[in-house]
Structure 1
């Protein structure tokens, strides 16, 4: 039985149309120019840097490291972050 052909490498990494890619926090840092703790402060209603317009994480994953410590990984939809950046720059241009 023949094996199915694989898609070309450049198509294999493209997200499906209409589906936003999930970003790790380090990718969000690069896109918006804020560090990890500044991003978390925008999510925390108790922080003076809280921003209710900042997108909530789309996914929270509990990961286990090799040392058996648990930590939470936050992921955001790329389209939500891009929209927030556009809206933020539009507000600053007023």
Structure 2
């Protein structure tokens, strides 16, 4: 009888462990996909056909990101204005757009 009880307990522990792992994977998949959708939204905004204004702002975007927003170059300002003019409803911050410019 002790063996049957021990096997039943072991089986329940295995099932509980699998349920917890499955729940964790589901949660991380959900978080990961929502972050990917967020990044994709800002990426779509700055690709704009890889236009020249945005591509020329890469060095200024790097300085902006590295200085945590303290250094704002002329080319970055032009790119940000250009992106916002192309997509008036864009809700991305300057930092998000600068990071996205760097990612291209």
Q: TM-score range by the shorter chain?
A: under 0.3
Given the two structures, how large is their TM-score scaled by the length of structure 1? 0.27
Given the two structures, how large is their TM-score scaled by the length of structure 2? 0.26
Which structure shows the bigger proportion of residues in helix conformation? 2
Which structure shows the bigger proportion of residues in strand conformation? 1
- Considering only CA atoms, is the larger Rg found in Structure 1 or Structure 2? 2
